[in-house]
Amino acid sequence: MINIAVLVSGGGTNLQALIDAQGTTLQHGRIALVIASNENAYALQRAQNANIDHCVVSRKYFQDQEEFTNALLKQLQEHNIDMIVLAGYLSVIDEKIIHAYPDRIINIHPSLIPSFCGKGYYGLKVHQAALAYGVKVTGATIHYVNEIMDGGKIILQKAVEILPDDTPEILQQRVMKEAEWILLPKATEMIAKQIEQEKTK
Ligand code: GRF
């Protein structure tokens, strides 16, 4: 089994989906570490409840991006992390980390990329934009993380219908329930399995 770090910033429902998938959908990896970008993230409580090592590495603790990146890398290395899952993580991942984990970092985005993604599209803003545009179908995407925001190779996508009375909040919930919480454990398992196979080659 490989060691997975999950990076979070908020409520952590996607982290919870991964925790719940351990031993069922998720067979080739274990969540060894949860890193939050701020101390108020409820995801930290979820990690604690599941007895998973967790810490806060916040950009505001550090003078510059480099110090912040080095602190993140230190945590990842100390926990022998093989794979990183960004699950609602709002800080920017530096090139140095991307290079240290080539094809080993995945992200979940709550739309069908390439729609409603890139700079400024996070949280409810993604769903607001989908409703404002008037699309009838949205969804979620799991993709590799590279230097381009939301630009890495797509791993899995799932479509979700938009209904006439949707608000951004209602749509966000439906996308999570019908797509995100299902896709993220599935994609994490796929990539964990690949990494484990590469390690034993
Ligand atoms: C999710 O919609 C995810 O796709 C996005 O941020 C949200 C995080 O929600 N990147 P949670 O913290 O997992 O509940």
User: Known catalytic residue: 109?
Assistant: yes
For residue 170, how far is its CA from the centre of ligand 1 (angstroms)?
Answer: 14
DSSP summary character for residue 177:
I
CA of residue 201 to ligand 1 center, whole Å: 34
Instruction: Indicate whether 148 pLDDT > 90.
Output: no
Residues 165-179 have pLDDT tens digits of 999 999 999 999 999
CA-based nearest residue to 104, from 86, 75, 82: 82
Q: Does the pLDDT value for residue 88 go beyond 90?
A: yes
**Confidence (pLDDT) at 166:** 98
Q: Strands 29-36 and 2-8, how do they pair?
A: parallel
Confidence bin at 151 (pLDDT 50/70/90): confident
As for ligand 1, residues whose beta carbon falls within 6 Å of it are 8, 10-14, 43, 87-88, 108-110, 123, 176, 180
Q: Residue 28 — φ and ψ, nearest 5°?
A: -100, 5
Q: CA dihedral defined by 64, 68, 69, 74, rounded to 10 degrees?
A: 140
Cα of 200 vs centre of ligand 1, distance in Å, is: 33
User: How far apart (Å, rounded) are the C-alpha atoms in residues 79 and 184?
Assistant: 22
Q: Which two tokens stand for residue 185?
A: 């454990």
Ligand 1 atom with the smallest distance to the CA of 123 is 6
**Average pLDDT value for residue range 44-73:** 97
- pTM for the model: 0.97
pLDDT score at 150: 84
Judged against a pLDDT cut of 90, whether residue 201 lies above it is answered with no
Catalytic residue among 28, 54, 109, 143: 109
Q: Which of 155, 2, 144 is nearest to 82 (CA)?
A: 2
Type of residue at 165: D
Tell me the mean pLDDT in the region 140-151. Answer: 92
Which residue lies with its CA nearest to atom 11 of ligand 1?
12
Give the integer Cα–Cα distance in Å for 162 and 186: 23
